Amino acid sequence: KRLKAFLGYDPYARNGWNTGNSRNGAYFRKVDTQFGPIEVQVPRDRNGQFHQHTLPDYKQHSDILESMIIKLYSKGVTTREIADLIEKMYGSHYSPAQVSNISKQMIPKVEAYHKRKLSDKFFCIYLDATYLPLHRETFEREAVYIAIGIKPNGHKEVIDYCIAPTENIEIWSEMLKGFKSRGLEQVELFLSDGVVGMKTAL
């Protein structure tokens, strides 16, 4: 129906002759969905101008599956565990590498989070680092720097976070400078542990 609307005439209709474009068969696409793998027949025109919008070009996975993968990844589930879960739940096979590629869609959102404009006032800001086991080339504990703020209205939010091998004042200093450049002007109280140089940095 969409190709009919695009071309402007019914199949085999005489008014379609010599219009410069015509039907050119169809091709099949395999797509992973929450109902399992399905094969979709997509019509095409001779000039290659028709694009159907039910499934975006080259997309091999439904938005629901991709959203599920991204959500699991954001919760800290490993790519191998996600691949196993998706196969058991939906019958669609993904390799850990495919899961990793889909999860990379989160990168622009994470970058935007780190650059977002901050409120100009916080009543209190907690600064602390905790060590978590992170899997890179090796599986080691690394410092996750976390700044949590409480606004004058009592609303609490994670202002920012940063990951580094160990805790040191230089990284805290860079984070604090970042808060200022992103709009933070006034804080009544900072709370932190005894990191050497923190008072001077503040």
Collapsed DSSP state (helix, strand, coil) of residue 24: strand
What pLDDT is recorded for position 191? 96
Separation CA 21–CA 110 (nearest Å): 45
Model-wide pTM > 0.85:
no
Provide the pairing of β-strand 121-135 with 186-192: parallel
The string of pLDDT tens digits covering residues 21-37 is 555 556 666 666 555 66
For the chain, the structural domain boundaries read 2-45, 63-112, 117-201
Decide which of 138 and 66 is more confident.
66
CA atoms of 126 and 81, how far apart (whole Å): 34
Task: Report pLDDT digits (tens) over 44-102.
Answer: 665 554 555 555 554 545 567 777 888 887 777 888 888 888 787 777 777 888 888 88
The residue with tokens 């503040």 is 202
